[in-house]
Amino acid sequence: MKTAKVNQKIAYLQQAAIALMASGMFMMASCSKEDSIAPQSGSAVKSQLMLREGEVAISIKHGACKDGCPQYDFALLADGWVIYNGYDFVGTPGRQEFAVEGHVVDMLLEFSKEHGFFDFKDQYEYSEGAAPATTNIRLSDGTEKSVSDFDFDIPDELRLIKSTIEEALGITALVTSGSGGGEAPAIRMSRSSCESGCPEYSFSVSAEGKIIYNGVEKVKVTGLVEYEVGMDVVRDLLEFAVDRGIFDLPDEYPYNRHYTD
């Protein structure tokens, strides 16, 4: 049974790859947070399911965790546009937009339906230290469902659906390797929310001085912001951290639910 599922997944991925190459319409462009996410009319082949143009057919969001899980989200629109945002611990940070053929949308929706997505529970058990994920799928008849999980004790079919969607659309490649090679940042910091309303944000600094900031909540600037500083600034910060004994500190301090980490 498991072999049959794997073979079916491979077949779907092959169809998606063939569709992307045959269409000749695969395009990618970096965008800022302020750019509109509305696709350009006629720039992608529409789905035969006839969801309204610009309507989200599939979206998956991966949240943060204490162990450095990849944090990203993406949406597949009915007309074939894919909008990806990489936030933290990903090979490709920032925003990417590209188009796939409409029948790829149909194929992934049908695959999800065949494997019982609409029969899953709305939420699965919490796992300490795991990253939350939310998958949302909408069909042309208005049927829509969201499933939240921590990739812990979930049905094999759900895991199969998520991985198939991400691999078919090229999201896996963006997250694991990335357009920029996926080199680990020199400095990374993340502040999570707390009950008393602490600012929630994260940022990373590359060795070359590129800073990627993501403001989430209770901050003056929300969303992704990218800018650069001199390499000497990065070097000075690293030297400062080493001089102050960063590598001699404990990996974790006592947790207090009223404060941010």
175-188 confidence digits (pLDDT tens): 987 543 345 567 87
Long-range contacts of 3-11 (CB under 8 A, 24+ apart): 5/156, 5/157, 5/160, 9/160, 9/163, 9/164
User: What is residue 192's predicted lDDT score, i.e. its pLDDT?
Assistant: 79
For the chain, the structural domain boundaries read 2-176, 187-248
Rg (Cα) of the chain, in Å, rounded? 20
Q: In this predicted structure, which of 12-16, 118-122, 140-144 has the lowest mean pLDDT?
A: 12-16
Q: What digits encode the pLDDT tens for the residues 44-69?
A: 333 444 444 568 999 999 998 877 88
| Closest to 50 in 3D by CA, of 103, 112, 117, 115 | 103
Q: How many CA atoms lie within 13 A of 230 on its CB side?
A: 3
Neighbouring residues of 170: CB distance < 8 A, sequence distance ≥ 6 = 20, 82, 98
User: What is residue 225's predicted lDDT score, i.e. its pLDDT?
Assistant: 77
Question: In this structure, what DSSP letter does residue 80 have?
Answer: S
Cα 70 from Cα 15, distance rounded (Å): 27
3-state class (DSSP) for residue 108: helix
Question: In this structure, what DSSP letter does residue 123 have?
Answer: B
Strands (E), 63-105: 71-77, 81-88, 94-99
| Closest to 64 in 3D by CA, of 73, 76, 53 | 73
Identify residue 71 by its one-letter amino acid code.
Q
pLDDT at 259 over 90: no
Cα 115 from Cα 158, distance rounded (Å): 8
User: What is residue 58's predicted lDDT score, i.e. its pLDDT?
Assistant: 96
* 156-168 and 102-114 helices, crossing angle to 10°: 170
Mean pLDDT for the stretch of residues 2-26:
52
Cβ-based neighbour number of residue 34 at 10 Å: 7
In angstroms, the Cα distances linking 224 to 31, 89, 103, 227 are 10, 14, 31, 10
